[in-house]
Amino acid sequence: MKILTGNDLATGDVIWWTGSGWSRHVEESADVGDKGEEIAQVESAARRVNGPYVIDASKDAAGIRPAHIKDRIRALGPTVRLDLSLKPADPTVGNWVI
C-alpha cells in the first residue's frame, strides 16, 4: 500500500495521513493509492503538513508497517532511546522498528 507522511509545521511532530486528517500514529494511516502527491500538495499549501512524501507500507496483523527502516524509526522513535519512543512501555518496540 502507499501511505503519506510528513512533519507538523509548527511542532515538527512526525504525522501520517489518515484519509481525513493527520495523526501522530502510523497505525491510523490510510492507503492513498495514486492520490498521494495530490493530497500532499493541497495539505502542504494549507500548512497542515511540512515536507510530505509518499512511502510504501504493508499491512499485517500487527498493523501498518512502513517498508523502509527510516520511516519505522520516524514512526516510533530513536532505537537507542526507546524510553523516548511513542510507546515507551512496550518492550517489543525495538523489534518492530528493526
Partner 1 sequence: MYRYDHFDQAIVDARVDEFRDQTARRLAGAMTEDQFKPLRLKNGLYLQLHAYMLRVAIPYGTLNSRQMRMLGHIARKYDRGYGHFTTRQNIQYNWIKLQDAPDILADLATVEMHAIQTSGESIRNLSSDQYAGAAADEICDPRPWAELVRQATTFHPEFSYLPRKFKIAVTASPEDRVAIRLHDIGLRLVQNDAGELGFEVYIGGGMGRTPFVAPLIRPFLPADNLFSYIEAALRVWNRWARRDNIHKQRIKILVHDMGEEEFRRQVEEEWEAILPNASDVERKELERIAAHFAPPPFETGLSDEIDRSDPDFALWVDQNVAAHKAPGYAIVNISLKPVPGIPGDATADQIDLIADLAEQYSFDDLRTTHAQNLVLPHVRKADLYAVWQKLSAAGLAEPNLDLATDIIACPGLDYCSLANARSIPIAQKIQARFIERGNVNELGELKIKISGCINACGHHHAGHIGILGVDRKGTENYQLLLGGSGAEDASLAKITGPGFDEDGIVDAVEKTTDVYLRERREGERFLDTYRRIGVEPFKEVLYG
As measured in angstroms, the least distance from the Cβ of 45 to partner 1 is 8
Site for partner 1 in 42-71 (CB under 8 A): 44, 47, 50-51, 67-70
Question: CA angle 46-49-52, nearest 5°?
Answer: 115
**Phi and psi for 30 in degrees, rounded to 5?**
-105, 150
Q: Select 19 or 94, whichever has its Cβ closest to partner 1.
A: 94
Which stretches of 13-90 are assigned E, i.e. beta strand?
14-17, 22-23, 50-60, 63-66
Among 3, 4, 5, 14, binds partner 1 (CB under 8 A): 14
As measured in angstroms, the least distance from the Cβ of 19 to partner 1 is 24
